[in-house]
Amino acid sequence: MTAPATALGPLLAAGSVVTVGSFDGVHLGHRAVLDEIARRARAAGRRSVLVTFEPHPLEVLHPATAPQLLTTPAERREVLAQSALDVVWFRRFDHALAALPPERFVEEVLVGGCAVRELVIGYDHGFGRGRSGDVSLLRRLGAAQGFAVDVVAPVEIDGAPVSSSRIRALVSEGDLAGAAALLGRPYSVSGRVVAGERRGRRLGVPTVNLGELDPRKLLPPDGVYAVRVEWRDGAAEGMMNQGPRPTFADGRRALEANLFGVADDLYGEWVRIEWVERLREVRRFDSAEELKAQLQRDRARAEQALRVAPERGPYPSRVPDA
C-alpha cells in the first residue's frame, strides 16, 4: 500500500478512519459522521481524519451558482475544534483535484495521503470527477486497496434529512431557531473588531463593530437582534444592529453590537457573535433622542429573549491541522 503523505505519516502509522466532504455548517448530520469515525478510530487504535476542502468545490466548478457559506473557512475550523477528531486535512480544491477520476482520488488522497483502513461517508456522498464515484465503486476500490467502506444514515428532523441547503433556506428566511435546531448550536458569525464611528458611545450604548466580512458568508435578514458574543478572554450578552444606519444617512451594511456590562472597546479582538432572536427591523428615526429611547426598549426585549434562550458554552480548540 502507498505510504501516507509525509506530513501525516508519523501520526497515521497505524492507519486511519476517514471521512471526506465539504462539511459547510458542520451540522447535526455532519456531526453524526464525525462522531462515528472518532468512535471507530478509538476502538481500533487508529486516528480519525476528516478530509475537507477549501474553497467550497462549487466556488471552483460553478462560481455563478455557488451557495453562500454557513461557515467561512475560519469559522469551520473553529466549529470542527469541538469535535473528537484527531486530524483535519484542509485540502485545496482546484480544477486539477476536481478532474481526478475516482480511482486516482482514492489512491492519492485516501490511501496515499491518509493510510485509510476504514472510510465512513454520508448517505448522499459522491466523489471524483463529476461526482462519478458512488458507494458501490468505493466498496470495490476498498476491497482492492484494503479498506472497509460504510455509510452513515441521514439524521432526520421533522421528517426530513438535515442538510446545508435546508439550513441556508432557514437562515435566509430569518428562522434562527429552526437553523439552530439543525446545526446543534446557534447560527453565528466571526470577525475582527474594528474602530467605528463611535455614534453608539455618544448615545450611551457603546458598540463593538465587526470589520469587513467574507462576502461568501450567509447572513440572516437585516434587523436588530439579541446576541451572545464570545472572544478570547470573555463573553457577554447584548443586542446588535445588522444593516444600514438610516438615522445617520449611512447606507453601508454594518454589524455593531452593544455588549451589556462591557466597557472595553475590544479593538483587534477576534469575536464570535451568535444570533439569538430578531427584535425588529432596521428603520430611520427622526432624531438621535428618539433612537436612544428605542434602543432602551430594544435592550429590555433583548434581555428577555436572552433569559429564555438555551445556554451556550465556549468552543474549545484542540484539533491539529494537517
Quick one: how far is CA 262 from the chain centroid? 27
Cβ-proximal residues to 303 (8 Å cutoff; 6+ apart), any chain: 226, 237, 260
Backbone angles phi, psi at 275, to 5 degrees: -70, 130
Residue 99 cell numbers, joined: 478532474
Residue 179 cell numbers, joined: 437553523
Cβ-proximal residues to 316 (8 Å cutoff; 6+ apart), any chain: 81, 82
Tell me, what's the pLDDT at 6?
Answer: 46
Domains and CATH numbers, the chain: 16-161 (3.40.50.620), 188-308 (2.40.30.30)
Bin 180: left if φ > 0, else alpha if -120 < ψ < 50, else beta: alpha
Tell me, what's the pLDDT at 81?
Answer: 87
Cβ-proximal residues to 155 (8 Å cutoff; 6+ apart), any chain: 28, 29, 32, 161, 162
Tell me, what's the pLDDT at 290?
Answer: 85
Per-10-residue mean pLDDT of the chain, 322 residues long, equals: 51 91 94 95 96 93 93 93 91 92 91 95 69 80 95 93 96 96 94 74 70 93 96 92 67 84 87 95 82 90 92 45 39
Tell me, what's the pLDDT at 271?
Answer: 94
Q: Which 3 state secondary structure label does DSSP give 63?
A: helix
Q: Which residues pair with 48 in a beta bridge?
A: 17
Tell me, what's the pLDDT at 29?
Answer: 93
R_g of the chain computed on alpha carbons = 22
* Cβ neighbours around 53 below 10 Å, total: 22
Residue 224 cell numbers, joined: 436588530
Tell me, what's the pLDDT at 203?
Answer: 53
Q: Which 3 state secondary structure label does DSSP give 117?
A: strand
Distance separating alpha carbons of residues 78 and 273, to the nearest angstrom: 13
Tell me, what's the pLDDT at 204?
Answer: 53
Tell me, what's the pLDDT at 96?
Answer: 93
Of 181, 208, 155, nearest to 32 by C-alpha is 155
Helical H segments across the chain, by residue range = 28-44, 57-61, 73-80, 95-98, 102-105, 112-114, 135-145, 164-173, 176-183, 199-202, 288-308
Q: Annotate 231-261 with DSSP letters as a single string.
A: ETTEEEEEEEEEEEEGGGTEEEEEEEEEETT
